[in-house]
Structure 1
């Protein structure tokens, strides 16, 4: 008798397979979140979604076949009101996203899953997913929820990037352009915008950081880029890709070997 391999994708399984996996003590679901929003004249609207989907898909290839972890379809449309001044951006309301996470997470908990990892590729919805995760835990206390940002805590990333990118590369800049050149070069246009904000921010304040402002991209960018995308290249992108894959494989495997936080 031939046995079919169990797919990594949640939606490719049948109900009996889901029921069986959910019974495991450490059963886990990963739900990637991205956005459909402008990324300058040279990157696709789905940049953040492509990044998180591609990286987590590569991570899943490294998992042993018997590990009780599955991936939900990537949520492509997210919370992107800061980019609505540019055509193509589609943004869902914060209330809708919180409700969606509570409903899906609550149903996963009812199935018996013990953990839900939200892997988010869009910086503009970090706080929102943190809030949604707290609401989900209150609504469905039997499921542990982990709201994570794709780029956070990845050792070695800052060593690969220029000082300008680290300080000013907030959107569609050097890092994102390079990573897309490594993942989907056919989607990258020829323009390399350079829009760095200078002399506008009082000392001690910032767009993002300890004393931030709720900025909108068209407050200070005509191209939609915040930073300098010049110098982007596939070699840098491949280095970033490998760091991201290695980081999330290690982090998720550490969790899967543990009973924490139960």
Structure 2
């Protein structure tokens, strides 16, 4: 996160401990922990792509919320679970066990300090399930604190009007949406290449899932990028455009502004004595 004064108001790390004590003890205290990844994103996007998305979108959302709301951000976790991108230089991946332990250890300390809600704000699709598992494990040990694992792109209204249906379904990595969003947020980090994932390592029918099966969806595959693409792109980045990226940014910020606003206006979810077995 950048260091201007408005954003510092929302960063727990910029508080002194008496301020933190007062903040975390407030009714409805909520911390948002952004998660990214450190992995290849094709020849055109930087290794920090997911982390940058999580950080920038969260910044914009929190800046727009009333200062009176008790919600703050934790520092971003930039290295995540990325074994699907093994074999591409620059990719770093932690084990699932280590990340679950990290979430539990940090989360339990936050609960002990009075935090009532912890939102795991994740922008890396490859660790959605992992963070859901980590959230459940943490919640089982912290009855006083709710844990909410979220994915940046899930449930965002209007994406289907911005991104073609085929790309929305199959552009899983460094395709049209991600390349366009990076062009809007940090164009200096985007290279000139615009790959299409048609350069498959496998050929013929073996590269095409049978009916009802897919890389992701109701009947998915535990896929590895190197089996699908030489460039590292799973999708089509050829039409990437900063104007589309700005539209995607607007949709993402509006979605999460709406969700955080409604969350902070509520006493949901029930915790502590409100929980029932």
Q: TM-score, normalised by structure 1?
A: 0.96
The Cα offsets for residues 197-247 of structure 1, whole Å up to 9 and x where unpaired, read as 784211111110111111100011100000110010000000000010011
SS at match of 1:221: coil
Determine the C-alpha separation between the residues in 2 that align with 1:73 and 1:206.
35
Determine the C-alpha separation between the residues in 2 that align with 1:203 and 1:60.
43
The Cα offsets for residues 67-126 of structure 1, whole Å up to 9 and x where unpaired, read as 111100011000000001200000000000000000111000000010000010000000
2:235 maps to what in 1? 227
**Matches of residues 1-262 of structure 1 in structure 2 within 5 Å?**
7-196=9-198, 199=205, 200-262=208-270
**Which has the higher mean CA deviation after the structures are superposed, 58-67 or 129-138?**
58-67
Offset, 1:164: 2.6
The Cα offsets for residues 28-78 of structure 1, whole Å up to 9 and x where unpaired, read as 000000000000000000000000100000111101111111100011000
Determine the C-alpha separation between the residues in 2 that align with 1:151 and 1:90.
22
SS at match of 2:256: helix
Determine the C-alpha separation between the residues in 1 that align with 2:250 and 2:263.
20
The Cα offsets for residues 117-159 of structure 1, whole Å up to 9 and x where unpaired, read as 0010000000000000000011212110000000000000111
Determine the C-alpha separation between the residues in 2 that align with 1:84 and 1:183.
27
Offset, 1:163: 2.4
The Cα offsets for residues 148-183 of structure 1, whole Å up to 9 and x where unpaired, read as 000000000111001231132010000000000000
SS at match of 1:119: strand
Determine the C-alpha separation between the residues in 2 that align with 1:89 and 1:212.
23
Determine the C-alpha separation between the residues in 2 that align with 1:59 and 1:90.
28
Mark the runs of 5 or more structure 2 residues left unpaired by the alignment. 271-277
Cα RMSD for the two superposed structures: 1.3
Determine the C-alpha separation between the residues in 1 that align with 2:76 and 2:19.
20
Determine the C-alpha separation between the residues in 1 that align with 2:72 and 2:190.
30
SS at match of 1:70: strand
2:275 maps to what in 1? none
**Which has the higher mean CA deviation after the structures are superposed, 173-182 or 158-167?**
158-167
Dislocated runs of 4+, deviation >2 Å: 196-199
Determine the C-alpha separation between the residues in 2 that align with 1:84 and 1:241.
29
Mark the runs of 5 or more structure 1 residues left unpaired by the alignment. none
